[in-house]
Structure 1
Amino acid sequence: MAVVLREARDTLVPDMRGPHGPLPPLMLVLTVLTGLVDAFSYLLLGHVFVANMTGNVVFMGFAFAGAASFSTLASVVALASFVAGALAGGRAVHRVRAHRGRQLQHAALIETAFVAAAMTVALISGGPYTGGVRFALIALLGLGLGVQNASVRALAVPDLTTTVVTRTLTGAVADSRLAKGPGSRAGRRVLSAAALLVGAFIGALVLLNGHPVLPLVLAVAVLAVVSAGASVLARSDAPWTRPPDEG
């Protein structure tokens, strides 16, 4: 237990001289954001995710089989938008591949623009979100989260993907000493899962209490904080700013 707590502490308050510097807590913040936007999309946009694409592939299977409340078109729009966002995010981060702080800054600013646009659409249109408004929201959020995932992949902070929890939890157990593994890094991995849970909980809570746009407002606020922090980090020349394969 002491090891788990130490790993959690080191993730929340990392060694700035370490290989990933201040990136781990920022990845956790983005994981909370993932929970917020997926709560909004799943609960208000008709059983579709804008961040967790595995779920959309499964939902498409349900829709093909004729299950009610699942839309093939919504899942396709989410997938296509996510892919387009990942392409845009990949181009943005690869232009500044030599500096991880600038990678995060560029991606966070682009993602903020997409999520803020979705928030604006939601505010102007009012609920319920149907027809073209629904698909516009799915597309804008899918683009934003695609950008996020592309940047997270480039930053390559171990166990902090901001979306994938199944693999994270598998690693926490399968790599543990109990399983005769090399060590599970359970503290960091449990924090990652908890951050997603917290974001989803907050998003669902405010939605169920009659505040449909608030998850997006919170998401934009989170991105504003990340963008501001990344803008400061973009001026750093610390060792962690170099890509992992060069650091």
Structure 2
Amino acid sequence: MHAVLRDVRATLVPDMTGPHGPLPPVMLVLTVLTGLVDAFSYLLLGHVFVANMTGNVVLMGFALAGAPGFSAPASAVALVSFAAGALSGGSTVHRAGAHRGRQLQHALLLETAFVTAAMTVALLSGRPYAGGARFTLIVLLGLGLGVQNAVVRALAVPDLTTTVLTRTLTGAIADSRLAKGPGSRAGRRALSAAAMLAGAFLGALSLLNGHPALPLMIAAVLLAALSTAATQFARSDAPWTRPPGPA
């Protein structure tokens, strides 16, 4: 239990001289954002994910089989948009050079632009979101989350992928002492799952009891705050800003 609590503390209040510096809590905030955005897209855009592509492929399978309430075109648009966002994010990361602070800053500014544009569309469009407004929202959010996943992959902070929890949870169990493993970093992995849960809960709660665009408004505020912090990170020359070595 003490090891788990130490792991939680080290993730929330990281050692700034460590290999990942301030990145772990940034990844947790981006995980909350993922939950927010997917709550909005799944509940209001017709059962489609814009961040979780594994789930999106499954939903497309449901739609192709004729299950009611699912849309193959919406899932396909989300997949293509996410791929385009990942391409854009990857290009942005590579242009930023071998400095993780600049990589994060440039990618967050791009993601902020996409999510803010989606928020504007949501505010100006009448609910329910249908037709062109619905697909515009899917495209903008898919682009933004594709960018996010590209930079998160480049930053390579262990167990904090911001979207994929299956591998995280598997590692927490399979690497545990109970399974005769080397140690599971259970605290960090539990925080990742809790952050996704918190984002999904907050997103669903806010759109069900407030304005439907509220999850995107919260996401835009989080991104603005992270972008401001990343501006400072981009000026750092601390060891964590250098690309991580092999895992």
Q: TM-score range by the shorter chain?
A: over 0.9
Distance 1:120 1:9 in 2: 37
Distance 2:151 2:225 in 1: 16
Distance 2:210 2:107 in 1: 31
Paired residues of 1:175 and 1:184 also in contact (CA < 8 A): yes
Distance 1:126 1:40 in 2: 15
SS in 2 for 1:133: helix
Q: Which residue number corresponds to residue 204 of structure 1?
A: 204
Distance 1:50 1:229 in 2: 25
CA pair 97-182 structure 1, distance change in 2 beyond 3 A: farther
Question: Which 4+ stretches in 1 moved above 4 angstroms?
Answer: none
The 5 A counterparts of 1:37-56 are 37-56=37-56
Distance 1:61 1:218 in 2: 31
* Stretch deviating more after TM superposition (7-16 or 88-97): 88-97
2:25 counterpart letter in structure 1: P
The 5 A counterparts of 1:1-247 are 1-245=1-245
1:241 counterpart letter in structure 2: T
1:169 counterpart letter in structure 2: L
**Count of aligned positions:** 246
Deviation per residue, 1:35-75 (Å, 9 max, x gap): 00000000000000000000110011101111000000000
Identity %, equivalent residues: 78
Distance 1:47 1:231 in 2: 36
- TM-score for both structures, normalised by structure 2: 0.98
Distance 1:57 1:97 in 2: 33
Distance 1:183 1:138 in 2: 39
1:125, CA displacement in angstroms? 1.0
Distance 1:210 1:47 in 2: 20
SS in 2 for 1:148: helix
1:97, CA displacement in angstroms? 3.2
Distance 1:156 1:197 in 2: 22
1:199, CA displacement in angstroms? 0.3
Paired residues of 1:104 and 1:151 also in contact (CA < 8 A): yes
- TM-score for both structures, normalised by structure 1: 0.98
* Stretch deviating more after TM superposition (210-219 or 77-86): 210-219
Paired residues of 1:97 and 1:243 also in contact (CA < 8 A): no
1:95, CA displacement in angstroms? 1.3
Paired residues of 1:153 and 1:161 also in contact (CA < 8 A): yes
RMSD after superposition: 0.8
Distance 1:94 1:188 in 2: 28
1:109 counterpart letter in structure 2: L
In structure 1, runs of 5+ residues without a counterpart are none
Distance 1:209 1:25 in 2: 28
Distance 2:178 2:53 in 1: 32
1:20 counterpart letter in structure 2: H
